[in-house]
Amino acid sequence: MTTLAGKVAVITGASRGIGRTTALALAREGVHLVLAARTVEEGSLPGTIGDTAARARELGVEAVPVATDLSCEADLERLAQVAVDRFGGADILINNGAVTQLDSWAAPLLEIPREDWYYQFAVNLHAPFILTQLLVPAMEARGGGRILNLTAGCGEVHRLPEEPPFREAIGDFRMAAPAYLASKRALDRFGNVVAPELARKNIAIIGVMPGLAASELTVRNVEQAGLDGSALVPMDIAAQMLVYFAGCEDPMPYTGRLFHAPRDSEELGITAST
């Protein structure tokens, strides 16, 4: 690992969950933060970007919260501009924000409104693309960087020769989320395809699948469904893998690839801090 102290990270979806956990893990390493999320006031779930920023500042780093709708291109441009104006750009981009709450999120195919499908692709796929375009020039000028994309399960991430049959539900808990899973799979391929181009700029792009992480939302949904949550993966496992990829001495052996945090952490020698 190289020192991360003084580096700058832009993190989306930073009000709670893996985004918040990763932000605070990076703050402990001395990374300054530009934090994006829509949640500026606490709602049905705990956490706001202001709370995350305040906690990061207590750890001794600068942290700037930026209210951001990831489906809005103007908001994405403003987020990138904040990073450039405040810090001269970013060394790390973590595309964590995604649509995880929507009436049609796990609806059957014929019940998904097209506008909801487009919205999920805008947030889960187009926002990472746009932020990558906006931040890569400054990242290259700073000597290189890391782009880390949070992804979902697929045959490739599980190192299977082909995609297995999909398990539609566990009891009454519906697992099928067509727009979410399709957009995340497209994000995987995007990273794989642009990796050689970015490598010439000394920028690595890496996908991390956190497993079924014990985020505030997932824990609530599992409890409401009456399921056993003991198999949920602590959020810190994914956060520590993201910290590792943000600061490892040579990220290029990993660029363009997908990693499953619960499995690959041990192989990479990564230990959760909590």
DSSP result, 97-116:
------TTTT--GGG--HHH
Please give the backbone phi and psi of residue 159, each rounded to the nearest 5 degrees, phi first: 60, 45
pTM value is: 0.90
> pLDDT for 97-125, tens place per residue?
999 888 998 898 999 999 999 999 999 99
Q: Tell me the two tokens of residue 195.
A: 């990796």
Residue 202 contacts residue 144 (beta carbons within 8 Å) = yes
User: Average pLDDT, whole number, for the chain?
Assistant: 90
User: Please, which pLDDT band fits residue 142 given cuts at 50, 70 and 90?
Assistant: very high
Spatial separation of the C-alpha atoms in residues 272 and 49, rounded to whole Å: 23
What's residue 247's pLDDT? 96
Give the CA angle between residues 89, 92, 96 to the nearest 5°: 115
What's residue 274's pLDDT? 44
Residue 131 contacts residue 12 (beta carbons within 8 Å) = yes
CATH 3.40.50.720 fits 8-268, yes or no: yes
78-104: average pLDDT:
95
Spatial separation of the C-alpha atoms in residues 239 and 52, rounded to whole Å: 15
